[in-house]
């Protein structure tokens, strides 16, 4: 049955079959290549996670021992070494600064898109230009000012700084989301006599909410990962997780498995946040320019 149909099809369009299989074979080759690329790029991450589940002696072998027994000892050890305060500091600095950023950026984005102020373009570029300046140039004065204010080694210092670092990104991103609020509906709401609060709650918020979440996650990622200011402005009380990682490897002896466990643990929140916001990640990274 199938033989006859293929035979018949073959007779009707004799030249159709060979190129199709060639195309399909080439397509499969591309798919395999994509999988290989993914494996290569993911390998260091996979190696990090695998090593974190090994004992120290199995982690530092040559050739590498892939199939050594798995254990959660390294993670237990981390919490024994008091990683918790560092995680809490990181969490405070990034969550509080993200909330602050959103609180400042959403109204500002509103004033730059839905009811734009005059010369809104210049304002947008002013915000962007602050992001282009290398942060290293601000480290010394900020250090001196913070020292003068007696705010060294204080989480709130990081909160304020991360808010400033992320505000331009959040503003550009939020503006691109707010522009998607349909004007017709806004106008209709206005004609119907809806007040500002009602308009915001029932027209703007539903459209902008996914954008607000994505913006918040991007700001969270950048704050969570920040190292330069965290290491120079904190000491014992306010140090965040990247600072923990650095201080962690000064001791001699085998530390690879423990290091990998710590690296996995501190990367986990961002990996989750990033994977959750995958579709909007590119939009945030390109400041709302690319969808």
Query: 148 to 177, contacts with other proteins by CB under 8 A?
Result: 160-161, 163-164, 167-168, 171
**CA neighbours closer than 13 Å in the CB half-sphere of residue 75:** 12
Count interface residues toward other proteins (CB under 8 A).
107
Identity of the residue, 7 or 272, whose beta carbon is nearer to other proteins in the bound complex: 272
- Considering the complex, what minimum distance in angstroms separates the CB of residue 283 from other proteins? 8
Q: Tell me which stretch binds other proteins (CB under 8 A): 24-32, 70-78, 79-87, 204-212.
A: 24-32
Helices (runs of H) and strands (runs of E) counted in the chain: 15, 0
- Considering the complex, what minimum distance in angstroms separates the CB of residue 228 from other proteins? 5
Q: Tell me which stretch binds other proteins (CB under 8 A): 14-22, 70-78, 91-99, 251-259.
A: 251-259
**Residue in 8, 132, 150, 250 binding other proteins, rule: CB under 8 A:** 132
Positions 182 through 241 that interact with other proteins (CB under 8 A)? 183-184, 186-187, 190, 221, 224-225, 227-228, 232, 241
Backbone angles phi, psi at 40, to 5 degrees: -65, -45
> Three-state DSSP class for 69?
coil
Q: Tell me which stretch binds other proteins (CB under 8 A): 68-76, 81-89, 114-122, 204-212.
A: 114-122
Element of type H or E holding 41: helix 17-52
Identify the burial level of 275 via C-beta atoms within 10 angstroms of its C-beta, where 0-12 means exposed, 13-18 middle and 19 or more buried. exposed
Residue 13 within binding range of other proteins, rule CB under 8 A: no
* C-alpha closest to that of 181 among 199, 155, 161: 199
Angle at 229 (CA atoms; ends 227, 232), nearest 5 degrees = 100
For residue 55, the tally of other CB atoms under 10 A from its CB is 15
**Residue in 125, 156, 202, 209 binding other proteins, rule: CB under 8 A:** 125
Sequence-distant (6+) residues with CB within 8 A of 86 are 239, 240, 241, 243, 244
Residue 275 within binding range of other proteins, rule CB under 8 A: yes
Identity of the residue, 130 or 202, whose beta carbon is nearer to other proteins in the bound complex: 130
Positions 32 through 91 that interact with other proteins (CB under 8 A)? 33-35, 37-39, 41-42, 44-45, 47-48, 51, 59-64
Residues 190/121, Cβ–Cβ less than 8 Å: no
Q: Locate all alpha helices (DSSP H) within 53-83, ordered by sequence.
A: 56-59, 73-80
- Considering the complex, what minimum distance in angstroms separates the CB of residue 82 from other proteins? 18
């Amino acid at each position: 049955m199938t033989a006859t149909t293929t035979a018949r099809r073959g007779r009707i369009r004799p030249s159709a079959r060979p190129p199709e299989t060639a195309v399909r074979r080439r397509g499969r080759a591309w798919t395999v290549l994509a999988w290989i690329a993914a494996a290569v790029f993911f390998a260091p991450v996979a190696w990090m996670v695998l090593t974190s589940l090994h004992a120290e002696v199995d982690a530092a072998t040559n050739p590498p021992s892939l199939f050594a027994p798995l254990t959660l000892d390294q993670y237990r050890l981390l919490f024994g070494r008091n990683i918790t305060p560092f995680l809490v500091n990181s969490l405070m600095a990034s969550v509080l600064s993200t909330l602050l950023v959103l609180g400042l950026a959403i109204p500002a984005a509103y004033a730059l898109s839905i009811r734009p102020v005059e010369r809104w373009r210049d304002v947008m570029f002013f915000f962007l230009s602050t992001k282009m300046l290398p942060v290293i140039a601000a480290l010394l004065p900020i250090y001196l000012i913070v020292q003068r204010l007696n705010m060294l080694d204080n989480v709130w210092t990081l909160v304020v700084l991360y808010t400033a670092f992320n505000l331009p990104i959040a503003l550009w991103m939020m503006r691109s989301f707010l522009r998607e609020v349909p004007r017709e509906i806004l106008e209709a709401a206005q004609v119907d006599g809806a007040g500002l609060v009602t308009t915001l709650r029932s027209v703007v918020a539903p459209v902008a909410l996914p954008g607000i979440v994505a913006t918040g996650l991007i700001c969270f990622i950048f704050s969570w990962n920040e190292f330069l200011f965290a290491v120079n402005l904190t000491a014992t009380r306010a140090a965040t997780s990247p600072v923990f990682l650095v201080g962690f490897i000064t001791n001699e002896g085998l530390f690879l498995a423990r290091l990998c466990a710590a690296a996995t643990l501190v990367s986990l929140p961002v990996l989750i946040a990033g994977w959750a916001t995958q579709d909007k990640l590119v939009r945030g990274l390109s400041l709302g320019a690319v969808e």
